[in-house]
A and B are shown apart, each in its own frame.
Chain A
């Protein structure tokens, strides 16, 4: 049985990471993510793990890659400015296919912006923040329970697909305090790395011809080279055009081909919904409240909440678009994810954003107003 606690979102992320088996944290504290660093510095040593406060976010991301290559599940937490600094080494983790989890508790930007206020301005940066063609997994929590449960899921995806996973929270959820059940190990499914077997001289860490190659760890007889440059199956530099083509396609397809397995969504009142709110993260709380108020007024409103933002949960979005009279996308930005919805608008139905960028949460009444406007059309 799990333990019932009253906890802050950031604190629950630390507990989720530890429950997932993470034993290494390297980071540079930044509002509104600092409580992840604070609680990790207390909790990791208690479970035999290591917390390192780094000189900056560039070094933090580098340390994460090193720790993961040495065999430890590793994570860090930051906010927008730190995500920008981590972007370069995030690419190294993508290219080296190194599992790790990067938490971004979004605040109002650009730059230092409004450091203590919520925003969802990093949605596209999470997807495309590092350079070059690649795919990435991005999960977005909307409750303190999510902060625990989805952290476990983030590590599982990271190990399963040998990829960095970005845990895209925001100030609303990071600083929210509410009840949470800290699940016990027997209630959780944890994905562990499979170690290579056979002749160490034959170990090829990038030979994915029979599914993703098992990941060795530094110090093991199975020698493992991490190379940010184009490499062959052994990890040796290789500039052949056919090899570059194969690797870049692989980095996308290993995730995109499993998009439906990675997709996590939640549906509320969707059975007969005519006005569909597609939302995620902190703004999902405003959307759910608005949906409830709309239903009280007799308007058939429903919510499709996207927990997985990337890869795009295509099937559920298309199903929602097929039944909707209109779609509303509330976001704490000028309209970032709405582009993904508009791309899939085959029936040409109204798709409208409700956007707020003043450092304040979207009020349910603002969304309700838009619902009523669309319902009256």
Chain B
């Protein structure tokens, strides 16, 4: 029986997916005392081509650190959506509806969230990855908001209170939206 949660966060380089995945895995490991791994894949071009991060959270030792049986696949960009759409089995797919046009090829459930628009409305499009982190937490309950906030504060340590507050707000916004999608 499967005892671990597996999440892929995919898009193109520069969208902050590795940070998003790292903070989820760190929150699970450091703040919630679970086993967690983060592995990533990117191209030599740094920006604009396919990139992803794989988060695994488990109560037991994690051997292979790449996602093979996803519970959730997040696609922030059409390049990533095209790669995963037909090949994710029954996993839940969350797409950025500002970038991705959904396709019926997806075999399991899929849900859209206007991540880019929400981040812009918050005042900084760069918060999209933290907003995504919130949405993942809300959708999957893989980490608690408390653990997530601690990981966020730890990462932004040394930055201004305004930056920390903005990112916490982005998390909350994403978390609320994620919880809403889970209950749909």
Name A residues whose Cβ lies closer than 8 Å to a Cβ of B.
Answer: 4-6, 31, 114-117, 172, 175-179, 285-286, 288-289, 292, 361, 363-365
Contacts and interface: CB of A to CB of B under 8 A. Distances in A.
B36, B38, B39, B64, most chain A CB atoms within 10 A: B64
B170 to A, nearest CB: 21
Given A6-B30, A115-B44, A176 B37 contact: yes
A292 B3 CA distance: 13
B65 interface: yes
A301 to B, nearest CB: 13
A172 to B, nearest CB: 7
Given A115-B44, A116-B44, A178-B29, A289 B64 contact: yes
Contacts of A114: 44
Nearest to B38: A177
Contact of B65 (A4, A172, A292, A365): A172
B64 A6 contact: no
A178 B64 contact: no
Contact of A364 (B36, B39, B64): B64
Interface residues of B, number: 21
Contacts of B68: 363-365
B135 to A, nearest CB: 21
B43 A361 contact: no
Given A172-B65, A363-B68, A178 B37 contact: yes
Contacts of B37: 176-178
Given A115-B44, A175-B40, A6 B63 contact: no
B53 to A, nearest CB: 9
B22 interface: yes
B147 to A, nearest CB: 12
Nearest to B53: A177
B35 interface: yes
B66 A361 contact: yes
A6 B29 contact: yes
25 contacts: A6-B26, A115-B44, A116-B43, A176-B37, A176-B38, A176-B39, A176-B65, A177-B22, A177-B25, A177-B26, A177-B39, A178-B25, A178-B36, A178-B37, A179-B29, A179-B30, A179-B36, A285-B63, A285-B64, A285-B65, A361-B64, A361-B66, A363-B68, A364-B68, A365-B68
A63 B65 CA distance: 36
A365 B64 CA distance: 11
Contacts of B84: none
A197 B65 CA distance: 51
A179 B35 contact: yes
A15 to B, nearest CB: 16
Interface string B55-87: 000000011111010000000000000000000
Given A116-B41, A178-B35, A361-B66, 17 more contacts: A4-B30, A172-B39, A175-B40, A177-B25, A177-B26, A177-B39, A178-B25, A178-B36, A178-B37, A178-B38, A179-B29, A285-B63, A286-B63, A288-B64, A363-B64, A364-B63, A364-B64
A281 to B, nearest CB: 13
A122 to B, nearest CB: 19
A170 to B, nearest CB: 12
A93 B27 CA distance: 44
A361 B37 CA distance: 15
B37, B41, B65, B66, most chain A CB atoms within 10 A: B65
B141 to A, nearest CB: 20
B13 to A, nearest CB: 10
Given A6-B30, A285-B63, A175 B39 contact: yes
